[in-house]
């Protein structure tokens, strides 16, 4: 394989992570890291989910997930209760505080992307979205999994 495409893709990912602040200690000027914010998002989207499902969905290490969930429980963002279908499993859900945090993160993310798109015309925005979908399709990723 030629090195140029690899170098170009790596350069793009470095640039994009900087643009949207993924390497900042706290995402979107919140109290949460990228991993914590993503967990809050996934738990919100599922409403009730087991840790094993999060591991599969996010491709996250079990012990790392456990540490993150303990922090979110301690902060009263996530609650867990025994699954009615399997007494060994727990269902995770957002607390009322967790729902508020999700709302703030979601709004901040929308505002951030809105600022990035602001200088573009409507046609340029549609072109950008089309290119992003094309990247996902070329890499065999189902865009619906990330909406």
CATH number of the domain that 47 lies in?
1.10.10.10
Structure tokens at 108: 């901040």
Per-residue confidence (pLDDT) for residue 143, from 0 to 100: 65
> Distance between the two ends of the chain, CA-based, in angstroms?
32
Distance separating alpha carbons of residues 112 and 19, to the nearest angstrom: 10
Give the number of domains in the chain.
Answer: 1
| Orientation of helix 34-46 relative to helix 62-74, angle to 10° | 80
Judge whether 11 lies within some domain: no
pTM reported for the whole predicted model:
0.86
Q: pLDDT 10s digit of each residue in the chain, 147 long?
A: 889 999 999 999 999 999 898 888 888 999 999 999 999 999 999 999 999 999 999 999 999 999 999 999 999 999 999 988 877 889 999 999 999 999 999 999 999 999 999 999 999 999 999 999 999 999 987 766 666
Question: The domain containing residue 99 runs over which residues?
Answer: 18-115
Distance (Å, whole) CA 30 – CA 64: 20
The answer to whether 48 and 83 have CB atoms below 8 angstroms apart is: no
Could you tell me if residue 6 is inside a domain? no
41 contacts 105 by C-beta, under 8 angstroms:
yes
Flag whether 135 is in a domain. Answer: no
Query: Looking at residue 114, what DSSP letter applies?
Result: H
Residue 139 lies in a domain: no
Using the 8-state DSSP alphabet, how is residue 79 labeled?
Answer: E
Phi, psi values for residue 2, rounded to 5°: -70, 150
Does residue 66 belong to any structural domain of this protein? Answer: yes
């Amino acid at each position: 394989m030629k090195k140029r495409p690899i170098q170009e893709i790596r350069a793009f990912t470095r640039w994009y992570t900087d643009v949207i602040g993924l390497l900042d200690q706290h995402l979107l000027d919140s109290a949460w890291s990228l991993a914590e914010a993503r967990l809050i998002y996934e738990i919100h989207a599922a409403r009730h989910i087991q840790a094993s499902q999060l591991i599969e969905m996010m491709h996250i290490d079990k012990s790392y997930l456990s540490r993150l969930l303990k922090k979110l429980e301690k902060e009263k963002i996530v609650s867990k209760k025994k699954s009615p279908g399997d007494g060994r499993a727990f269902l995770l859900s957002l607390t009322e505080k967790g729902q508020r945090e999700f709302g703030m993160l979601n709004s901040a993310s929308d505002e951030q992307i809105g600022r990035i798109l602001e200088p573009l015309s409507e046609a340029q925005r549609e072109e950008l979205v089309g290119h992003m979908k094309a990247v996902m399709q070329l890499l065999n990723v189902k865009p619906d999994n990330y909406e």
